[in-house]
Amino acid sequence: MSGIQTAIDRSGHCERWDIDIQIRGYYELRSLQDSAAELIAYSCPIINNMAMPEKLKVQPFDQYPFCDMAASCPLLHDLPEQLPIEKKIRIRR
C-alpha cells in the first residue's frame, strides 16, 4: 500500500532575494497506524524555476537565476519534519 499524501503551504520572506514567497512541504502517512505524516519533499518557486527551460519559467521568479541557500534556507528548514494526524473514527449506525 502506498501512503496517503498531503501538502501544506507556508508564506515567508526569502532572505537571499529579499522577496515574499510561498513554499510547500509534501508529507506522507505511510501507515494508518502512524501518528504523524513524514516530510518527504519541499518546493520553492525560485528553486523550481531554476530547473525550467527558459520559455517555461514563471514570472516574477524568472528574474532570480539561482538559489545558493537551499541547504541553509530558514523557510525550508522551518517546515515541520512531521505533521501530527488526528484520527477520527466514524461509526455507522
pLDDT for 81: 92
Q: In terms of pTM, does the model score above 0.75?
A: yes
Domain that holds residue 26: 4-82
C-alpha span between 76 and 59 (Å, rounded): 21
The reply to whether 73 falls in a domain is yes
Q: Is residue 87 part of a domain?
A: no
The model's confidence at residue 1, banded by pLDDT at 50, 70 and 90, is: very low
Per-residue pLDDT tens over the stretch 74-91: 998 899 999 887 765 555
At 19, the pLDDT band (50, 70, 90 cuts) reads very high
Residue 39 has what pLDDT?
A: 92
Domain presence at residue 91: no
- Say if residue 9 is exposed, middle or buried (CB neighbours under 10 Å; 0-12, 13-18, 19+): exposed
Task: State residue 24's pLDDT score.
Answer: 94
* Helix, coil or strand: residue 35: coil
Q: How far apart are CA 43 and CA 23, in angstroms?
A: 6
Number of domains forming the structure of the chain: 1
Task: Say how far residue 24 (Cα) sits from the centre of its chain.
Answer: 3
Residue 29, domain member (yes or no): yes
